[in-house]
Structure 1
């Protein structure tokens, strides 16, 4: 598995227009009143939209034979913003496999995508691919000690996964009940990246920031979220960032969260 470390996944250009950027904002929960996110006049693009443009890269790794696509899961996500995305345009990206960590019975593949606008890293947890004698890698960020500074609430929409999949991630388990059951879920569930992006909106508002001003984002996907679920988001202020965790009825769904705004 160490042979995968540093392997190039190629280059890609993604072209989008204002309609696509607006659809993205609506799909992650931006209200119609947030005119600079949903109206083409003076439009600001949410930085997490970049992750839809770069989704091709982690999707390349499974078919290339790195791991079993039927059992691998998206473990965590990192985003670093270099400069704001334009309201419409073409983004050139390069992708590679970063580190490959040996967790014993599983491996974690880091897929790194770089562009002039952002750097993004997908961590893919691949059962059965570990045990090759590599390093275990860093541990996940632990829940902050002490009581949270704020507790927020976010109600997801019953239609949210159906909207979000129009941005490119059309895995059937997010829309088709039979596909969801085959994946071990009782019904279609939210895309992890949709949930992660959605929580940045109330976090930004609570901390008097603009969601389009997001400069850094990290989060680990601890459990699935279903469309219509209500999330409880706990936040802790730390230096120039916000640490966060999210739960549904006491079950942690996002852990190790960190967001920074410019």
Structure 2
């Protein structure tokens, strides 16, 4: 079966329930402080929009389980469009499908789209060994715009962050087991990309004087690993663009976060 045959494939629907405890655990896992009462205290709770990504994580897993690619595939990039705030507690009815499948020669990129009334999210999954099927290469990566030096700040991760974030749904072994992470070239388990991306939105909201629950659009390309405990350098610009670096090397590029 060619990678191209997966384009447009329906991945099904699920109704996913959660409560305030789940939303609070998520906020703590991505770096909310105990003093952020409207993120960690049920009486004042506002749910972070990126929490919805944990509720939709089943969709790319369904595609993997169906055999579209193997365990060499990595999460290449993520987008999130927020349509309305997530309620404190309740159920979301999610539908998922494969969007475009791009042929990069040595690899394929599968876009997995998840939609509900509250948000639309797209996972782009880079699958080595599944290209070369004669399909379109897809949009070229935009050349980096010449920008003035942006605002600088730090995103501080913590040593137990990957272990804590696993409890929100992403239990892939590379985030907890050194033997598993070593098999992909990292002797220390790495932080989940979606955790890093969500943690960055907290810092960006603080810089802009916005509330992180007012996020309405987010995107980022995962371009390097993060180790729990790393202090990451964040550079951002007034139009919402940002780049996150570890020791001068990009770990999230082509970033953009917009708040209402």
With normalisation by structure 2, the TM-score equals: 0.97
The 8 Å contact of residues 142 and 256 in structure 1, kept in 2 or not, is answered as no
Moved over 4 A (4+): none
One of 48, 51, 61 as aligned partner of 1:46: 48
Q: Which residue of 2 aligns with 1:261?
A: 259
Q: Aligned partners of 1:149 and 1:182: how far apart in 2?
A: 37
Secondary structure of the residue that 2:181 maps to in structure 1?
Answer: helix
Q: What are structure 2's unaligned runs of at least 5 residues?
A: none
Counting only pairs closer than 5 Å after superposition, residues 99-248 of structure 1 correspond to structure 2 as 99-238=100-239, 242-248=240-246
The 8 Å contact of residues 179 and 187 in structure 2, kept in 1 or not, is answered as no
Change (3 A) 1:142 1:195: farther
With normalisation by structure 1, the TM-score equals: 0.96
Q: Which residue of 2 aligns with 1:3?
A: 5
Secondary structure of the residue that 1:41 maps to in structure 2?
Answer: helix
Q: What is the CA-CA distance between 1:183 and the residue it aligns to?
A: 2.3
The 8 Å contact of residues 144 and 236 in structure 1, kept in 2 or not, is answered as no
How many aligned positions are there? 258
The 8 Å contact of residues 140 and 256 in structure 1, kept in 2 or not, is answered as no
Superposition CA RMSD, Å: 0.9
Change (3 A) 1:28 1:82: same
One of 8, 15, 18 as aligned partner of 1:16: 18
Q: Aligned partners of 1:81 and 1:20: how far apart in 2?
A: 19
Change (3 A) 1:252 1:6: same
Deviations 1:23-76 (Å, cap 9, x if unpaired)? 0000000111111000001210000000000000000111211111x2100000
The 8 Å contact of residues 80 and 118 in structure 1, kept in 2 or not, is answered as yes
Secondary structure of the residue that 1:47 maps to in structure 2?
Answer: coil
Q: Which residue of 2 aligns with 1:27?
A: 29
Secondary structure of the residue that 2:84 maps to in structure 1?
Answer: coil
Q: Aligned partners of 1:38 and 1:141: how far apart in 2?
A: 38
Q: What are structure 1's unaligned runs of at least 5 residues?
A: none
Q: Aligned partners of 1:176 and 1:246: how far apart in 2?
A: 25
Q: What is the CA-CA distance between 1:145 and the residue it aligns to?
A: 1.5
Q: Which moved more, 1:132-141 or 1:2-11?
A: 132-141
Q: Which moved more, 1:141-150 or 1:22-31?
A: 141-150
